[in-house]
Amino acid sequence: MPVKPIIVWFRNDLRLADNSALSAAAASAAPIVPVYIHDPDAAGRWSAGGASRWWLHHSLSALSSALGDMGSTLVLRRGPAEKILATLAAEVGAQAVYFSRAYEPWARAQEDRVKAGFAAGEIEIKRFAGALLREPEEVRTKAGEPFKVYTPFWRALTALGPPSTPLAAPKSLSAISRKVASEPLAGWQLLPSKPDWAGGLRQAWQPGEAGGRARLDEFLGEALAGYADTRNLPAVDGTSRLSAHLHFGEVSPRLCWHRAIAVRESGKARDAAVETFLKELVWREFSYHLLIHWPNIPDRPFKPEFGAFPWKDSAADLKAWQRGLTGYPIVDAGMRQLWHTGWMHNRVRMIVASFLVKHLLIPWQSGEAWFWDTLVDADLASNAASWQWVAGSGADAAPYFRIFNPITQGEKFDADAAYVRRWVPEIAALPDAVIHAPWTASASVLAGAGVKLGKTYPLPLVDHAEARQRALDGYAAMRS
């Protein structure tokens, strides 16, 4: 009697290597039916934004090609996952559905519906870990509670020992003999209706597992050694730029961890550089830990008292921030980099977020929503945790009185203004001494650089000192 096939449901694990669900199915020697289900309605308001949809299209195309090279075919279906899987299982006579766990509240509800959609014992439904170094429930305080502070979380996670060794990609996959109906990827209309907007994304990124591996290789070989020193400099390619590859599961955090350790053991990177990178991986873990235990953090402040903060919520100010027209060059450079490439340097993310929340008094949820639509690495856990960290309302958050000065932040981390000059070219001719605060330049200096404040480049939306005091007053009112 022929062996019944196993359906492998791809989700946020769009890779062949270190994919526990795929490896387990391949080891069974059963024919495999790989499927990706486009189910945006399940995510509701957190369905993928424009930049993420662009990435997903190309990542699925890459996965389809990789599976094709192994003699398998990726099936694409659109609709409620529980109905699609039930229909597909009946079509192919499947014995099991294997998939990797996801952690978003809507994804957890989706998993419950999938399990409920099959009668008990009718078919095996098996969920595997794979998106994190450790499952969120594994890391607990000594009292058995979830962590609310990052540093003890880091210590507890590392005390558990290194994550398990990444799995190699299966050497072969057995395909079923019959053809299975699949929808055309182009029909899902994931790509933007304005192709020119995606031009910068195409130049900056190579979605897919091969692109993720290439980016990891480049980072480990060129940037990891200086990571602790250069990761805060936006004009330098000193960060890993792996966030989107991790979000879509094109590379696994276990692979990143073990590869970084191997570089350290080879003597090609100092302990401090490697530990700094590992701590960034664990910040991602901490964000998921928070999302699992406090699933409302994308929508509501972790610290409830922040619900009483006196927000200004100006639509005009929000639009100026989104377009990179605030009059503060480091802020505007970051917002333009985001629009052009779908990504922003991490240091600058903190600066622009602080500016929105603490200078403009616009709710952090508005910034979170803009990032969700424009970031190729838009990740519900990391996005929510990081915005709340900056706002002061989150777990282990920055103190409410920490208000980044966008002028000094620019002068410190973009001292020669290379980053600002690239993304805000209309002020590129200004000298270093005034470029981070153009309104302080003399009329002759402005004229010599071809800058007309209020015309070719905007005047500041707010005065820093006044905005800082206004924010502090708002926090004082909230606390009282």
Return the active site residues: 280, 283, 311, 346, 364, 387
Are the C-beta atoms of residues 244 and 376 closer than 8 Å to each other?
yes
Q: How far apart, in whole angstroms, are the C-alpha atoms of residue 382 and residue 243?
A: 10
Per the rule left: phi > 0, alpha: psi between -120 and 50, beta: everything else, 285 is: alpha
Q: Among candidates 246, 244, 245, 281, which has minimal Cα distance to 260?
A: 281
Q: How far apart, in whole angstroms, are the C-alpha atoms of residue 480 and residue 471?
A: 14
What are phi and psi for residue 100, nearest 5 degrees?
-90, 145
Axis crossing angle, helix 380-391 with helix 271-293, rounded to the nearest 10: 100
Q: Which residues contact 201 (CB under 8 A, 6 or more apart)?
A: 51, 54, 55, 341, 342, 376
What are phi and psi for residue 7, nearest 5 degrees?
-85, 125
Q: Helix/strand/coil (H, E, C) string of 234-265?
A: CCCCCCCCCHHHHHCCCCCHHHHHHHHHHHHH
Residue 405 neighbours by CB distance under 10 Å:
17
The first and second tokens of residue 263, run together, are: 């570089």
